[in-house]
Structures are given as structure tokens and as C-alpha cells.
Amino acid sequence: MSKLLQDAVAEFAKLPGVGRRTALRLSMHLLKMDAEAVEQMTSAIARFRREVRHCEECNNLSDEARCPICQNPERDRSTICVVEQVGDLMSIENTRQYRGLYHVLGGVISPMQGVGPSDLKIDMLIEKVAAGEVREVILAISTSIEGETTLFYIMNRLKAYPDVRVSTIARGIGFGDELEYVDELTITHALLNRRPVEG
């Protein structure tokens, strides 16, 4: 087998969810692409890894020292939405409903995986709150056991700042979800947090 192909397959197979079969299919696909398109692809990927940084203010991925959101004077600097990872931030940004700032933790507390509070950007969040400008912290953290642990840990740390409102995003039945297929915990939560019909 071609050494060049062998190398390409081995490298693709290092990506998560890519087995040898898929790696071979991806390699073969490269041969159907323009040579320049492949150069562009590989250099964009290499450049991303080499040059991307974490925003020094919110830990979002950024091309500069501060990310575009933190740099934007239109954003409401008194509200911080705390998320686990950059993907979550992007999901919220896509709704175009949120005008505050973010804080990306970089994960959740997970003793099983050896992730403690000091491995996350929690101190950085507390420092930002301590600086005094923040009025509300929205915790948009997942409802996994690790997520809940992280939530309680942060809530405890934030008790030192009683003037700062702390909230979590609403849990309930998603739009388009069929009740029949929703898990019991979510339904229980949705029932307990029922809201009066307006109109």
C-alpha cells in the first residue's frame, strides 16, 4: 500500500469518530478534490490550531486578545452568561436574543475525569464579578450530574456577592418535542415550573 495513503489514513483516523474505514474514504475523497482546495483545507486547519487563542476576558475562542463579543460596545456588560464550552456560546449567539457577555468555563467539574474547579475558568469568572460591573449571572450549564455539581459550586462562590442576581436557564419541554418521548425528569420539572396562560 502507498506510504502516502497509509500516512493520510493514519492521520485522519486520529480524529474522534473516524475509524480506518472512514479515514480511507476521506483520503479517497481528497483525490476527487482540486489540489488547491486540499491545500486550502489543510492550511486553514493547521492555521486554526496554530493561531487561535482564548479571549483573555471570557475564554471564548478568539483571533485577537479579546473576542469580538467582548470588544463589542453594544453588548450589555452587566450580564454574563456562563457556558461550558464554545459550542454552547455559539448556540446561544445563533438565537440573536442575548445581548450580554459570556464566560466560557472550558468544561464541567468531573472528579471521575480528574477535572476539579481549578481546571476550569471559575476564578476568572469570580474575579470579573468581584470587579463590580456585573449585575446578573446566567448559568447555562447542562443538567448532567457534573453540570449540576459545577452549578452548585459556582452558586456557592457567588453567594459572596449578594447584589448579583444568579439564574439558570429554564428547563422544560423543547419546542417540537413530543411529550410521549420526553424523559420523566424533564416532564416533572416542566410541570412544577408551569406558567399561567397569558391572554
CB of 35 to its own copies, least distance (A): 6
Taking alpha carbons only, the member of 156, 108, 103 closest to residue 128 is: 103
Contact flag: residue 163 with its own copies (CB under 8 A)? no
Rounded Cα distance, 146 and 15, in Å: 25
Contact flag: residue 3 with its own copies (CB under 8 A)? yes
Contact flag: residue 56 with its own copies (CB under 8 A)? no
Choosing from 19, 47, 127, 160, the residue that interacts with its own copies (CB under 8 A) is 47
CB of 136 to its own copies, least distance (A): 24
Torsion angle in degrees (nearest 10) through CA of 158, 148, 150, 106: -120
Contact flag: residue 43 with its own copies (CB under 8 A)? yes
Determine the residue type at 174. Answer: G
Can you list the pairs that 165-170 forms with residues at least 24 positions away whose Cβ atoms lie under 8 Å?
165/135, 165/136, 165/137, 166/136, 166/137, 166/139, 167/136, 167/137, 167/138, 167/139, 168/138, 168/139, 168/140, 168/141, 169/138, 169/139, 169/140
Choosing from 49, 159, 194, 195, the residue that interacts with its own copies (CB under 8 A) is 49
Angle between helices 3-12 and 20-32 (to 10 degrees): 120
Contact flag: residue 11 with its own copies (CB under 8 A)? yes
**Residue window 63-92: x/- pattern of binding to its own copies, with contact defined by CB under 8 A:** x---xx----------------xxx--x--
Contact flag: residue 41 with its own copies (CB under 8 A)? yes
Rounded Cα distance, 109 and 157, in Å: 14
| Closest CB to its own copies among residues 124, 164 | 124
| Closest CB to its own copies among residues 8, 126 | 8
Contact flag: residue 52 with its own copies (CB under 8 A)? yes
Look-up: residue for cell 396562560? 197
What 3-state class would DSSP assign to 60? coil
| Closest CB to its own copies among residues 9, 134 | 9
- The residues of the shown chain that bind its own copies, judged by CB under 8 A, are 1-5, 7-8, 10-12, 14-17, 22, 24-31, 33, 35, 37-52, 60-63, 67-68, 85-87, 90, 93
